[in-house]
A and B are shown apart, each in its own frame.
Chain A
Amino acid sequence: MTTAQLYYLLNLLIYAGVDIIACLGLSQQFGVAGVTNFGFIIFQAAGAYTAAILSLPGDSANGGFQSYIGGWNLPFPVPWIGAAIVGGLIALPFTFLVGRRLRGDFAAVGLLVTAVMFNLLVTNYRPFLNGSAGLSLVPAPLQGEYDPQGAGYQWAYAAIALVLAAGAFWLVQRVTESPYGRSLRAMRDNDIVADSLGKNLVALRTSVLVLGGALAGLSGAILVSYITTWSPGAWGYAETIVLFAAVIIGGGGSHRGAVLGAILVPVGFEEATRYIPTFGPPGFVDDLQWVAIGLLVVIFLWFRPQGILPERRRIIGATAPSFKIPNEDVVTLAGPVRAPRAAEAPNPGRPATAPASRANTADPVVLRAVDLVRDFGGVHAVAGVSIEVRRGTLTGLIGPNGAGKSTLLAMLAGTLPVTSGHVVYQGTDVTGRPAYRRARLGLVRTFQLASEFKRLTVMENLLSAVPDNRGDSLAGALRGRRYWRRDEEAAIARARALLERFGLSGYADTYGGDLSGGQRRLTEIMRALMTEPAMLLLDEPMAGVHPRLARQIGAQLLDLCAEGMTILMVEHELAIMDEFCDPVIMMAEGTVLATGTMTDLRARADVVEAYLVG
């Protein structure tokens, strides 16, 4: 091997280290958490600029041919650490883009615009970071002590880059395989449902922007210290597309996939082909390369959207089931079911928050709606509804299609803001509180449409709902498995008990997206129970379920109520209402028509006219 070849090889290894770190950061955001950060490249750029101005001497020191802020001349590794910190913190001003209010694709556009805007600002304001010419003569680490052009130095640099890449891999692995990582994946699969289960979407997305940003910043630092220059041309939004292509092709959400994608696309495709002989007019090969990246993205999204190395399935639940697994919706519920409680599966990590201890037992009314109104455009979907739900009841909510039942439920749970009126839960006015905070108070809903987390197993679906797991935060996840293992084991025990009782033990490791309709409904009910709710809001929990199973679910819900839980349930099947629900609230055209037992309702002419006959 000639010296030139050796240097070229080392060059590729260093690029590999840089791109692997960047792709792991992006994969964490896009693949794991579902945050489509089209501005990802500005995090890498921020890290590169930070490392540059921390290691460069003051701008007067090099004859003033470039001007920039800072110039602190700090020793290695301070500039790299600073780069990771700035890369992480620069996300904070933009958290408003990833809140609950903005659709995911709109937020992506906002981040894209942010990236373009930053590039314009840096390009045009020269005193900041030397404008379009960019920074050059960035010192290599320890260049006073060693010769950066020496083979030994190059070897060491490549080794450090790869070690840091391995460290990044270890870090994202630790985070993703924690309860916090599971929450990220739940949010990715269905953010509205995650919100309704008590996940703070803004906090989750912000933390993942910070984590991915820190990795991007570090990658920028390694890159800039190696190539010694950095200018706005190095971070156009096309560079972001290259990284997205890498993550999509390698496999979103899979860390090995991110590594493979980094090696295949930015390194293999961009760097290695830089040296193939050119043909055609100037720029022709470059153009074709971009076309090829575009083609790869589209082709992969069509033929293999999960990437070459897909996210792997997390096997947690499979303790050999003790009975034959029914293959149909008609599963037999094993005996009388009681809600598994914190008392049964003690959780030493935190004080018991069983429903009973949360409840304000003095007031028999758990949930009160006062003059709730919701308008869509000019339509009054709910036009002034006042109801009370009393403790320990299984209250039914019926009404013809379009009566406003689901809208009412969404307002009670906080999924939908009210136009006017109040929601009072256990004596507290929660009208202004977002869904996740109501869920943490024990007011939890399910959804009319199937809402399982598709790429989480049934076991993970259940575990994702457990409140207060010590590992369910970035800080907790970083402290490692030992920190949260006991919480996790307690949660798994509870989940196993629930699965056993609902006859779904054999499906613990099945993806939510692969279940039948009835199994999805059961999973959703179990998941809601895992939050240890004081009050459940169920939106047609028996829709699409075999009648026999529906009755068994009804019996269990009654059991839960007997133990002090309160349930408000929307249901179309009047036989279910007859058998299980008392009282029943009847809605029509956005208002409450009547309240009482089904027998009372059947006796009223207007109710019969509105619903029971027509």
Chain B
Amino acid sequence: MSLFLASFGFGLVTAAVLAIAAVGFTMQFAVTDVLNLAYGAVMIASAFVAYALNQAGVNVWVALLAAAAAGAVGSVLLNQGIYTPFQRRGTAPITLVIVSLGMTLIIEFGLQAIVGGTSVSYTMSQGPTVRAGGLVLTAVQFVIIGLAVVVMAAVHGLLRYTKLGKAMRATSANRSLARNCGIRTNRIVTVTWAITGALCGIAGTVFAINNGSFGATSADLFLVVILAAVFLGGPGSAYGAMLGAVIIGLATEISAAYITPSYKDVIAFLVLLIMMAVRPGGLLGAAVQ
């Protein structure tokens, strides 16, 4: 029982990191129609921005805000400079995916050329061990879970109760119709890249915190786990991504405890492939026509 609780606790932490990342990714896809595989690269680049500040003596939780800003700025630039020009030309979605893979190489290895190939860690305290409801986690892990809950609540509030959120949903459903209804879709798209880029930056930093150490290419595998959570929930569905993150996070950590840690990501990918075979639209997505 304690093994289960321990792995459940780790699962919640993984799910928390994953949820922040997956919600950002899926909203980016929903509103802008770009399956941006450079998301992981932007995550880790943002984590390095936080690392630079952290090295200069700034507290890592403050640096997290800078990483969010860096992720937002970087994502907007990525869209304005690369994706939007391609989309204006009528480039096929699959070609954009290849472009995003090219951008992944450029960002990741450009970063690695600057920071070097060795892994680094933030200077920070893990805080005291906290027991709550049978879970035993460090204070930092609880903060990550709390942060994820706050972010999810904020996303929910944004989509459900604000005019911006409604405009984002309308743009996602039908961009040209939304434009004809007087929504400034170009602005909505840019704002979406900023918001999801901020989520991406936050996710990169908490991923790096949770991982302990990280390097320029550390997010490669995690990106695939994000994809698993996104497609499990239904691509484009924010609530689906949250659900997918919880399922994948718990499934990977609990299987790691009971089977072996080596295969925890394999479990996530198997879940995704089965989902694609059985219900391509995901748990909460519409059935693909």
**Hey, which bits of chain A sit against chain B, CB under 8 A?**
36, 96-97, 101-106, 108-110, 112-114, 116-117, 120-121, 124-125, 237-238, 241, 244-245, 248, 280-284, 287-288, 290-291, 293-298, 301-302, 305, 377, 416-417
Contact = CB atoms under 8 A, between A and B. Distances in A.
A288 B85 CA distance: 25
Interface residues on B, range: 35 or more
B21 interface: no
Indicate the member of B260, B265, B277, B280 with the most A CB atoms within 10 Å: B280
B80 to A, nearest CB: 15
5 contacts: A113-B272, A241-B102, A241-B105, A297-B101, A298-B106
Contact of A113 (B117, B220, B227, B260): B227
Given A291-B106, A302-B86, 8 more contacts: A106-B276, A108-B97, A110-B272, A283-B117, A293-B105, A301-B99, A305-B95, A377-B286
Most buried by B among A96, A114, A291, A302: A291
Contacts of A294: 101-106, 109
Contacts of A290: 105, 108-109
B273 A113 contact: yes
A302 B85 CA distance: 9
Given A110-B276, A113-B273, A114-B273, A248 B98 contact: yes
B82, B98, B106, B286 interface centre (most CB from chain A within 10 Å): B98
B289 interface: yes
B97 A287 contact: no
B228 A241 contact: no
Interface string B68-112: 000000000000001001100001011111110111111011101
Contacts of A305: 95
Interface SS, B side: helix
B74 to A, nearest CB: 16
Residue with the highest number of chain A CB atoms closer than 10 Å, among B96, B102, B224, B272: B102
A294 to B, nearest CB: 3
A287 B276 contact: no
Contacts of A291: 105-106, 109-110, 113
Nearest to B288: A101
For the complex of A and B, 4 pairs with smallest distance between CB atoms: A294-B105, A297-B102, A290-B109, A124-B262
A31 to B, nearest CB: 12
B228 A113 contact: yes
B270 interface: yes
A476 B289 CA distance: 32
Nearest to A240: B101
Contact of B288 (A103, A125, A282): A103
A288 B86 contact: no
B37 to A, nearest CB: 8
B105 A113 contact: no
B109 A102 contact: no
B109 A105 contact: no
A113 B269 contact: yes
Contacts of B289: 416-417
Contacts of A125: 262
A248 B101 CA distance: 13
Contact of A104 (B93, B104, B113): B93
A251 B220 CA distance: 28
Given A103-B288, A105-B97, A113-B224, A96 B276 contact: yes
B149 interface: no
Contacts of B227: 109, 112-113
B113 A284 contact: yes
B208 to A, nearest CB: 20
B95 A287 contact: no
Contact of A287 (B98, B109, B269, B272): B109
B219 to A, nearest CB: 13
Contacts of B108: 290
Contact of B116 (A96, A283, A302): A283
Given A106-B231, A294-B105, A287 B94 contact: no
A144 B92 CA distance: 53
Contacts of A241: 101-102, 105
B221 interface: yes
Contacts of A416: 289
Contact of A116 (B91, B221, B276): B221
Interface string B257-282: 00010110110011011001100100
B169 to A, nearest CB: 13
B263 A124 contact: yes
B235 interface: yes
A587 to B, nearest CB: 21
Contacts of A283: 112, 116-117
A377 B104 CA distance: 36
Central interface residue in B96, B105, B106, by most chain A CB within 10 Å? B105
Contacts of A297: 98-99, 101-102, 105
Contacts of B273: 97, 110, 113-114, 117
Nearest to A110: B276
Contact of B97 (A36, A114, A248, A282): A36
B262 A287 contact: no
Contacts of B265: 117, 120
A105 B93 contact: yes
Contacts of B96: 105
A238 B265 CA distance: 19
Contacts of A101: 280, 288
A27 B16 CA distance: 41
Contacts of B17: none
Given A113-B272, A120-B266, A281-B116, A301 B231 contact: no
A105 B228 contact: no
Given A113-B273, A124-B263, A283-B116, A298 B102 contact: yes
A106 B99 contact: no
Contacts of A238: 105
Contacts of A114: 269, 273
A288 B102 contact: no
B98 A301 contact: yes
Interface in B39-84: 82
Contact of A121 (B86, B231, B266): B266
A291 B235 CA distance: 29
Given A102-B276, A116-B224, A417-B289, A298 B82 contact: yes
Contacts of A288: 109, 113
A377 B285 CA distance: 11
Interface string B176-200: 0000000000000000000000000
B145 interface: no
Interface string B203-233: 0000000000000000011001001100100
A97 B276 contact: yes
